[in-house]
């Protein structure tokens, strides 16, 4: 401590660049402070610090660290506790705490780097705006910030004695139950589970917390779809099991169809206690599919959905710099299957109409030989029967899908009703006049593309490399900006930073032109599962959160300079 304070006293009043002398480790009692990076001026990105405590001194209960998912949940809890302690000191008038920043999670519990838990220590990784007046160092303020405020926040959040053991236990048990439930879905023949009592609506489009104003409608399962599951901590729970196959979610406008689908999209992640979706889980391989006008497509075989284009242009290994809605939606499906998707989540509102269905009148007006698109309705059962890929669709205006559905769930004022039998009767009484194409006539192509990494994945921008997330909307990668704004299952900006790390690591360490896209992202995933998110980083960084191989592949596929080699 004395060395840190002496250094800051010596730097007081000097130019801001002198802060660089702080780099290195400092002992602060039980704690060790590491100053890894110092910002060159007050307007640059903040400095990066780590505060480490021996695990023995933290005195966490052994049960808190018993399994990998509990360690993830504990790190998440500690991150939230650190932020809560920082905010509390701010409210007490400790204004210097505004300079401290930890990468705070949202409603989801993700593996992240904000708090590291090893066999030896717990470590908070922070960004800090070092105090200055203009470009002049405020040494005394920095001494108070680093020598008093930072340790006080850490003491209130990173030791077991400062935490509510009941709150920690609830957090860990809730997350572990979700993980177990998700793992059991395939054996139960389900693609998703929505627990009774779940609250699905959110407060606003930019606020993912649960709705807090009446009317509040809590999920209650239709008896015919009710499933009971025994969980390690919650015991026997009841909910709606969404079975494998083709499921339609129907109902009037504003009755909760898309809200349910959004919950299923987020059901690939675990949620915090009190979120309302703690027992809404989806198959970990569920992928949201939508139309995406203008996206780039690189050598994707679209033949299951789109045949020969005008002027004899083939859709085998199809490329476009400006894909249409139907073409982009077809490409999104093929790319998801390429990485191993087992469930497709589709909303009518974000789909290309001509990709989803063609009625009899349009078929009469535009002859089959003039229409290259085989609509999704003609393929959805083949996906299930031949590839074992289930589909959950929100449908409000296309009754033709009743003929191909295994299950039909009707949302009425956000309450679910199983109307499968009635839907089948309606489909039989009012058969569609659309002429379906023979599904066996067009087999699924091999799902293998090999990106040419050395030629197309360089992160070089001028003299420097650049690979960084830009919120939830984009990734700056070398000279290119990857638009991920419509990759709907990204939920936190730290995930785009992680994906940028994945792409850069792939360029430097996995530049093997024999790897397919699926093999590439699975190698990255295996590395992270074995060594943690830090395996992709040259130095410890606290603002990364895990994203699935599906989202990593989605970003790679949207890189406009990506090149795919020959088969």
- For every residue of 178-232, DSSP letters joined together read HHHHHHHTGGGTEEEEEETT----EEETTEEEEP-SS--------GGGEEEEEET
Do 228 and 364 share a domain, yes or no?
yes
Residue 23: what pLDDT?
96
Whether residue 190 sits in one domain with residue 147? no
Contacts of 396 (CB under 8 A, 6+ apart): 250, 251, 252, 253, 257, 348, 349
Alpha-carbon distances of 210 from 14, 238, 268, 276, 394, rounded to whole Å: 49, 21, 18, 6, 22
Residues near 176 by beta carbon (within 8 Å), at least 6 away in sequence: 67, 69, 70, 73, 232, 233
**What is the structure's pLDDT at 536?**
96
Q: pLDDT for 395-449, tens place per residue?
A: 988 889 999 999 999 999 999 999 999 999 999 998 887 776 655 456 677 778 9
pLDDT of residue 438: 53
Residues 241 and 101 in one domain: no
Give the count of domains, the chain.
3
Residue 191 shares a structural domain with residue 337: yes
Spatial contact of 111 and 546, defined as CB atoms under 8 Å apart: yes
351 and 217 together in one domain: yes
Task: Return the SS3 of 125.
Answer: strand
Of the residues 163, 193, 214, which one is the last residue of a structural domain? 163
The answer as to whether 29 is a domain residue is yes
Question: Which residue, of 446, 473, 492, is where some domain finishes?
Answer: 446
**pLDDT score of 437:** 66
Q: Radius of gyration over alpha carbons of the chain, in Å?
A: 26
Q: Is residue 238 part of a domain?
A: yes
pLDDT of residue 511: 79
* SS3 (DSSP) at 84: helix
Q: Which domain holds residue 37?
A: 2-163
**Are residues 424 and 475 both part of a single domain?**
no
List phi, psi (to 5°) of 202. -100, 165
Same domain? 254 vs 395: yes
Identify whether 367 is part of a domain: yes
260: closest CA among 131, 473, 416, 150?
A: 416
**291/435 same-domain check:** yes
**CATH for 408:** 3.40.50
Task: For residue 263, give every residue at least 6 positions away whose Cβ sits within 8 Å of its Cβ, in sequence order, or none.
Answer: 194, 198, 200, 277, 280
* pLDDT at residue 207, as a whole number: 94
435: in domain: yes
Whether 293 and 398 share a structural domain: yes
Say if residue 84 is in the same domain as residue 224: no
Residue at 171 is within a domain: no
- First-to-last alpha carbon distance for the chain, in angstroms, is 61
Q: Read off the pLDDT of residues 498-524 as tens digits, 9 standing for 90 and up.
A: 999 999 999 999 978 789 999 999 999
Check residue 335 and give its pLDDT.
97
Name the maximum alpha-carbon separation found in the chain.
Answer: 87
In a domain, 566, yes or no: no
Coil, helix or strand at residue 401: helix
405, 479: one domain:
no
> Does residue 142 form part of some domain?
yes
**Closest to 266 measured CA to CA, from 109, 119, 144, 421:** 109
pLDDT for 432 equals: 82
- 169 within a domain of the structure (yes/no): no
What torsion, rounded to 10 degrees, do the Cα atoms 424, 429, 433, 436 define?
30
Query: What are the residue ranges in the chain where pLDDT is below 70?
Result: 367, 436-443
Residues 131 and 214 reside in one and the same domain? no
Measured CA to CA, the distance from residue 96 to residue 244 in angstroms comes to: 54
List the one residue out of 562, 566, 561, 531 whose CA is nearest residue 546.
531
320-357: pLDDT as tens digits: 999 999 999 999 999 999 999 999 999 999 999 999 98
| Residue where a domain stops, chosen among 163, 194, 213 | 163
Angle at 550 between CA 506 and CA 391, to 5 degrees: 160
Cα gap 73→105, rounded to integer Å? 11
Q: How big, in percent rounded to 5, are the helix, strand and coil portions of the chain?
A: 40, 25, 35
User: What confidence score (pLDDT) does residue 268 get?
Assistant: 98
Going by C-beta distance under 8 Å and a sequence separation of 6 or more, which residues neighbour residue 118? 55
């Amino acid at each position: 401590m004395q060395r840190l304070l002496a250094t800051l006293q010596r730097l007081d009043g000097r130019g801001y660049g002198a802060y660089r002398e702080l780099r290195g480790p400092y002992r602060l009692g039980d704690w060790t402070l590491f100053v890894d990076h110092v910002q060159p001026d007050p307007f640059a990105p903040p400095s990066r610090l780590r505060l480490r405590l021996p695990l023995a001194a933290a005195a966490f209960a052994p049960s808190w660290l018993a399994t990998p998912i509990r360690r993830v949940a504990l790190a998440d809890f500690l991150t939230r506790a650190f932020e809560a302690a920082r905010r509390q000191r701010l409210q007490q008038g400790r204004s210097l705490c505004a300079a401290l920043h930890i990468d705070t999670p949202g409603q989801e519990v993700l593996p992240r780097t904000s708090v590291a838990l090893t066999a030896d220590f717990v470590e908070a990784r922070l960004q800090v705006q070092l105090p200055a007046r203009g470009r002049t160092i405020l040494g005394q303020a920095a001494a108070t910030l680093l020598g008093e405020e930072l340790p006080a926040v850490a003491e209130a959040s990173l030791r077991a004695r400062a935490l509510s053991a009941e709150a920690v236990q609830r957090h860990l048990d809730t997350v572990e139950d979700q993980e177990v439930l998700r793992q059991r879905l395939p054996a139960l023949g389900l693609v998703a589970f929505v627990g009774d009592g779940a609250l699905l609506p959110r407060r606003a489009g930019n606020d993912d917390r649960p709705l807090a104003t009446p009317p509040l409608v809590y999920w209650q399962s239709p008896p015919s779809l009710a499933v009971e599951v025994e969980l390690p901590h919650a015991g026997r729970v009841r909910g709606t099991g969404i079975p494998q196959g083709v499921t339609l979610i129907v109902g009037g406008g504003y009755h909760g169809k898309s809200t349910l689908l959004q919950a299923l999209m987020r059901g690939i992640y675990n949620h915090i206690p009190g979120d309302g979706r703690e027992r809404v889980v989806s198959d970990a391989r569920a992928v949201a599919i939508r139309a995406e006008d203008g996206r780039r497509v690189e050598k994707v075989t679209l033949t299951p959905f789109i045949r020969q284009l005008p002027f004899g242009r083939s859709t085998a290994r199809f490329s476009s710099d400006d894909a249409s809605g139907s073409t982009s939606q077809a490409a999104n499906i093929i790319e998801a299957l390429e990485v191993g998707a087992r469930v497709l989540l589709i909303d009518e509102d974000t789909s290309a109409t001509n990709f989803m269905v063609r009625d009899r009148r349009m078929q009469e007006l535009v002859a089959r030989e003039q229409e290259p698109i085989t609509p999704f309705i003609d393929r959805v059962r083949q996906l299930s029967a031949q590839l074992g890929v289930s589909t959950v669709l929100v449908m409000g205006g296309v009754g033709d899908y009743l003929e191909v559905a295994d299950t039909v769930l009707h949302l009425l004022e956000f309450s679910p009703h199983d109307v499968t039998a009635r839907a089948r009767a309606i489909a039989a009484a009012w058969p569609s006049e659309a002429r379906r194409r023979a599904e066996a006539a067009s087999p699924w192509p091999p799902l293998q593309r090999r990106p040419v990494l050395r030629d197309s994945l360089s992160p070089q921008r001028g003299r420097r490399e650049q690979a960084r997330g830009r919120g939830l909307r984009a990734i700056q990668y070398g000279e290119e900006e990857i638009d991920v704004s419509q990759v709907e299952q990204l939920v936190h900006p730290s995930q785009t930073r992680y994906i940028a790390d994945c792409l850069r690591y792939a360029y430097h360490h996995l530049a093997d032109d024999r790897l397919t896209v699926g093999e590439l992202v699975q190698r990255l995933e295996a590395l992270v599962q074995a060594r943690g998110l830090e395996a992709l980083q040259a130095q410890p960084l606290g603002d990364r959160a895990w994203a699935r191989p599906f989202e990593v592949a989605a970003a790679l596929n949207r890189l406009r300079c990506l090149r795919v080699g020959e088969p």
